């Protein structure tokens, strides 16, 4: 749905509204599929998608997705942007 929005700002706002918390307890593979869908976007919207969803899922998994899921993303840019999303230190401890 978000990828169909023409305005980049609307698409990023839509991505930020993704209810990743509904996937609490899902498998790493499910999270990788979710974040991997950022490929539907181009340019800065794609980057924002990887950063936002990477961070949201890492928080949901207490940092595990950052360690285990981001490296499984297909494209090097996807892995880089997923890992670039800082997870609050409280989650990591």
d(CA 73, CA 25): 19
What pLDDT score was predicted for residue 82?
85
22 part of a folded domain: no
How does pLDDT run across 53-72, given as a tens digit for each residue? 988 888 888 888 888 998 99
49 part of a folded domain: yes
Look up the domain containing 60 and give its range: 28-86
11 part of a folded domain: no
Mean pLDDT of the chain: 86
What pLDDT score was predicted for residue 92?
44
12 part of a folded domain: no
Rounded mean pLDDT, 64-82? 88
The count of domains in the chain is 1
93 part of a folded domain: no
67 part of a folded domain: yes
Q: What is the four-CA torsion angle of 65, 91, 44, 16, rounded to 10 degrees?
A: 100
1 part of a folded domain: no
């Amino acid at each position: 749905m978000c990828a169909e929005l023409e305005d980049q700002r609307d698409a990023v706002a839509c991505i930020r509204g993704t209810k990743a918390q509904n996937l609490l307890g899902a498998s790493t593979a499910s999270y990788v599929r979710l974040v991997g869908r950022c490929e539907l976007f181009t340019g800065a919207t794609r980057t924002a998608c990887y950063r936002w969803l990477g961070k949201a899922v890492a928080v949901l998994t207490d940092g595990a997705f950052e360690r285990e899921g981001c490296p499984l993303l297909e494209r090097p840019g996807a892995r880089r942007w997923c890992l670039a999303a800082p997870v609050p230190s409280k989650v990591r401890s």
